[in-house]
Amino acid sequence: MRFYLITALFLASVAYLGYFPEQSDFHALVIGYIVAFAAVIVLYLKPLRFTSSQITYWLVVGFLARMILLPAFPQLSDDIYRFYWDGLLTLDGVNPYHFTPSDYIASGADTSWAAQLYPQLNSPDYYSVYPPLNQLLFAAAAWLSSSVATFSLLLKLLILAAEGVTCYYGIKILGLLGQRRERIFLYLLNPLIIIELSGNVHFEAFVVAAVSAGLYYLLKQDMVRSAIGWALAVGTKLTPLLLLPALWRKPSGKQGIAVLWGVSAVVVALLLSPIVWSLQSVNFGESLDLYFRTFEFNASLYYIARWIGQGIVGYNLIAYIGPLLAVFTIIIIGLNSWYAKKELSAYRFISLLLWLYVIYLFLSTTVHPWYLSLPIFLTLFTRFRFPLLWSLLIVLSYSHYQHGAYQEHYGLIALEYIIVFGAFLWEWLRDCSVVPWLMDEDPAAMAKNV
């Protein structure tokens, strides 16, 4: 009976987080997250081994939690309005990369929907940064919708399907690695994943689904289908490009590498071609440049660099520090990929992918909670668990919206990252080396890992 009561508590906490607290209700969010995580920890740790019936039960619970949130309108993010704006713009025959919303309104376009939707947008002076694949989904959902609420519901159904793909390939990867299937619940039942993807409609769900397929087929040495999976991830959000340099370490033989990179390049080029051929690449690039030079949220090392710079010159140097950190990220990723052993085991290879993506997050000027989706997925196949701890602590970033006014609370962010960095360093040092894929495989550690 206690088992089912805790399950009910978990589902109730998910429903509470999805329907009631708004972005500014910081304390309510923290309480809801703590309750949801506590319920998951108790339920996950209780059995030493999951039976087949228990695995089926938790699969049902994981997807039921997502289905509960289907009717809920996103409470913690207003990105949904920009998605809808871009979709309606496309349906009106206007290239979403051609106008900023402010420019479109100023042009005198006679569209009642634009006047109603415009006040809800969070970045009306920026060009769209969502790749063409996203725009296609926005347009399709907008075509089938009569309101932004219906639009949200349709996107949530697509995200639910993407989560099903992630679960399917995640379990298959665990099988290939000889690891227990119940590890998938570290992702499937993670409250952050449920709330931010299924609740707040973030497209990291499609990124993780595509990466899961690409990774599975890579381990199976099916280079064509693997390349398509990685390309779809890049086509949904550009950040998976950071992982591509590491891919040349895994395929066996030069032919496998050539196929993987060749097919990936062709598919990515096709997916991004609407930007290039519409001659709007300058606008798209301008928005990406502004992202690195203007936006800052829940950062770690960047805040330290900004503080040092401000102490020296007296003003915020984000216009220089942001791009510099981006270049530094690319250099570190390139060096780690280049100097990694040529034939990494599956465990070391996935650890490398996790390390590379975490480098990007640690050096980024902006780290929203849903950015942790891919690290949480990758950690399933390694010994590392610090992204799971981070998925709870990152709720502290919502303190920035407390009382309806944006104000950074550096003490809480410092607390978040002190704990995360501590766990990160302890786990990497425990795994033989700070860069464990440069070391030989440890059979004893791997035996424990399985």
Give the single-character DSSP code of 366. B
List the one residue out of 337, 341, 355, 332 whose CA is nearest residue 438: 341
Residue 34 has a pLDDT of: 96
What is d(CA 99, CA 97) in angstroms, rounded to the nearest whole number? 6
Note the pLDDT of residue 190. 97
- Is the pLDDT assigned to residue 446 strictly greater than 50? no
- C-alpha dist (Å) from residue 134 to 235, 266, 271, 292: 8, 18, 10, 21
Domain, as residue range, for 415:
2-449
Q: Is the pLDDT of residue 313 over 50?
A: yes
- Indicate whether 448 pLDDT > 50: no
The alpha carbon dihedral of 276, 279, 285, 290 has a sign of negative
Per-residue confidence at 273, pLDDT binned at 50, 70, 90?
Answer: confident
pLDDT above 70 for 345: yes
Mean pLDDT, residues 140-163: 96
pLDDT of residue 284: 60
Nearest C-alpha neighbor of 247 from the set 353, 166, 380, 381 = 353
Residues 6+ apart with CB under 8 A from 71: 153
Q: Does the pLDDT of residue 450 top 50, yes or no? A: no
% pLDDT > 70, the chain: 87
Among 44-53, 155-164, 178-187, the range scoring the smallest mean pLDDT is 44-53
Kindly report which listed range (69-83, 273-287, 292-306) carries the lowest average pLDDT score: 273-287
The alpha carbon of 269 is separated from its chain's Cα centroid by a whole number of angstroms, namely 22
Residue 236: closest CA among 129, 312, 123: 129
**Residue 107: predicted pLDDT:** 83
- Give the C-alpha separation, 216 to 211, whole Å: 8
pLDDT surpasses 80 at 50 = no
Contacts of 61 (CB under 8 A, 6+ apart): 7, 10, 11, 189
User: Which of 27-31, 242-246, 437-441 shows the highest mean pLDDT?
Assistant: 27-31
pLDDT digits (tens, 9 = 90+) for 406-421: 788 899 999 999 999 9
Count of structural domains, the chain? 1
For position 247, what pLDDT does the model report?
80
pLDDT, one tens digit per residue, over 173-213 is: 999 999 989 899 999 999 999 999 999 999 999 999 999 99
pLDDT at position 293 over 80: no
- Burial class, 233, CB count within 10 angstroms (exposed 0-12 / middle 13-18 / buried 19+): buried
Least confident residue range of 213-217, 302-306, 402-406: 402-406
Backbone angles phi, psi at 230, to 5 degrees: -65, -40
Q: Please enumerate in sequence order all residues whose Cβ is within 8 A of that of 361, keeping only pairs 6 or more positions apart, or say none.
A: 367, 371, 372, 375
| Whether residue 401 has pLDDT greater than 50 | yes
Share of the chain above pLDDT 90, in %: 57
Q: Which residue has the higher pLDDT, 342 or 216?
A: 216
The tokens for 175 are 């099988």
pLDDT > 70? residue 340: no
pLDDT top residue among 346 and 153: 153
Instruction: Indicate the SS3 state at residue 297.
Output: strand
Distance CA 210, CA 165 (A): 8
